[in-house]
Every structure is written in C-alpha cells, then in structure tokens.
Amino acid sequence: MDLKGQAINKDMSLQSEIFQMSGEKIQNCYQCQKCSAGCPLNFAMDILPNQVFRHIQYGHRDKVLTSKTIWLCASCHTCSTRCPNSIDIAKVMDTLREISTRSGLAAGEKNISLFHKFFLGLIKITGRTWEPVFAIYKMKAGGLGGMIGFGLKQFFKGKIPIFPTFKGGKELKRLFEPGKGAAR
Ligand code: SF4
Ligand code: SF4
C-alpha cells in the first residue's frame, strides 16, 4: 500500500494517545520497513507494521483500530529490536489493542475480543491457563464440536486438570495495574 502523497490528517489524537499510554513516539518512524520485513506474521496481516505506523501518522484511527494486524501481532519483539529509531513496536501494538478494546469498534479478527476477555480474565484470577475455560470460549465462539473428542481423550489421560492452579500473587496483581502493560 502506498500512502505517500496523502495529506496528513490534522486529527493526530491516536498518535498522542499512544504516546500518553506507552511513551512511544510514532512520529519518529521514517518508513524504513525493517519492522515489516522481519515480522514472522507479516504474511497474515492486512496492513504491515510499517503501514500501521503510517496510518497512525495520517490520523487514520478506525483503519488501524479495526485492523487484523494489531490482533495477529504475537508480541515477539523482533520488530522492536530491528527498529533504527528504537521504537518499541510490540508495545505500540499492545497499546493499540487496548485502545481498540476500549473504543468499542469491531475488532478486525473474528471473536478476538471474546478470546481476549476469556484469556486475560483467567490469567488475572489464576495466573495460569486452564483448558476448561478455553472450552467455554470455544462454545461461545462456535466450533467446539471438533474439539470435544480430543478434549475428552486428553482429560482421560490426565492431561486436563479438574481444578485450576493458582500462581502469581503480588507480582500478578502488579501486572494488571493501570500502565503496567497487562490486561485492562
Ligand atoms: S512483535 Fe508483532 S509486529 Fe513485531 S515482529 Fe513480532 S509479531 Fe510482528
Ligand atoms: S522499523 Fe521503525 S522506523 Fe522503520 S518502519 Fe518500522 S517503526 Fe518505522
């Protein structure tokens, strides 16, 4: 996608919001594309990481917040280590997920908000994953059918615990404090 030549939108609120929440300066991006070239998930994204940055610079708020990309990003930090301007791109992606969730816009990936809610809700309480919660998620999202047989097999092999285990304590609580970078 070539965004060169487009007029910069005066509404830069998304850029400012990202800076306020993460401290990252999107305006420092000069489109070298190193982030996109090294991203292991670039083949599945609808807009590449460098394009996300360009859209933010142009003030295309909805385009960014409804993209698949922000949800497909696996926070592997490859891009952040490659950026010549030391922009923590993975942190920006995380911030965008947060803003997208708060904004109430439809997420670019089907069922991703539901998954986000289930997964982070569970981690917030237990500090660990627990398979039955994902079965409930699959039930709500549709598509549990194909997994029932596999789930039962695993259960009878003793691979799925009946009760969740708890881990985390104060450290976990701290992760969920506003501005500390975990779930909201
Ligand atoms: S952190 Fe996200 S955007 Fe960056 S390289 Fe990894 S998957 Fe791609
Ligand atoms: S690596 Fe950094 S400067 Fe280069 S396009 Fe990506 S965000 Fe912009």
* Residue with CA at minimum distance from ligand 1 atom 2: 73
User: Ligand 1: distance of its center to the CA of 36 in Å?
Assistant: 8
The 10 Å CB-count burial string (b at 16+, else e) for 120-154 is: eebbeebbeebeebbeebbeeeeeeeeeeeebeee
Give the chain's domain count: 2
Identify whether 85 is part of a domain.
Answer: yes
Of 22, 27, 28, 35, the residue with max ligand 2 atoms within 8 A of its CB, to mutate for a pocket test, comes to 35
Identify whether 183 is part of a domain.
Answer: no
How far is residue 33's CA from residue 56's CA, in Å, rounded to a whole number? 15
Identify whether 1 is part of a domain.
Answer: no
Identify whether 139 is part of a domain.
Answer: yes
Taking only the tens place, the pLDDT of each residue in 15-62 is: 999 999 999 999 999 999 999 999 999 999 999 999 999 999 999 999
Identify whether 75 is part of a domain.
Answer: yes
Q: Which domain holds residue 51?
A: 13-103
- Does ligand 2 have an atom closer than 6 angstroms to the CB of 29? yes
Largest Cα–Cα distance of the chain, in whole Å?
61
Q: Is pTM, for the whole model, over 0.85?
A: no
Same structural domain for residues 66 and 30?
yes
User: Ligand 2: distance of its center to the CA of 113 in Å?
Assistant: 27
* Residue with CA at minimum distance from ligand 2 atom 3: 29
- Does ligand 1 have an atom closer than 6 angstroms to the CB of 75? yes
Same structural domain for residues 48 and 119?
no
Which amino acid appears at position 116 of this protein? H
Identify whether 22 is part of a domain.
Answer: yes
Q: Of 41, 74, 103, at which residue does a domain stop?
A: 103
Distances (CA, A) of 142 to 120, 135, 146, 159: 19, 10, 10, 23
Identify whether 49 is part of a domain.
Answer: yes
Same structural domain for residues 23 and 62?
yes
* Residue with CA at minimum distance from ligand 2 atom 8: 29
The sign one gets for the Cα dihedral 92, 97, 98, 99 is: positive
Under the banding of pLDDT at 50, 70 and 90, the label for residue 178 is low
Identify whether 6 is part of a domain.
Answer: no
Same structural domain for residues 122 and 87?
no
Burial of 35 (0-12, 13-18, 19+ CB in 10 A): buried
Taking only the tens place, the pLDDT of each residue in 85-119 is: 999 999 999 999 989 888 888 777 778 878 878 88
- Does ligand 2 have an atom closer than 6 angstroms to the CB of 30? yes
How far is residue 127's CA from residue 150's CA, in Å, rounded to a whole number? 25
Same structural domain for residues 146 and 165?
yes
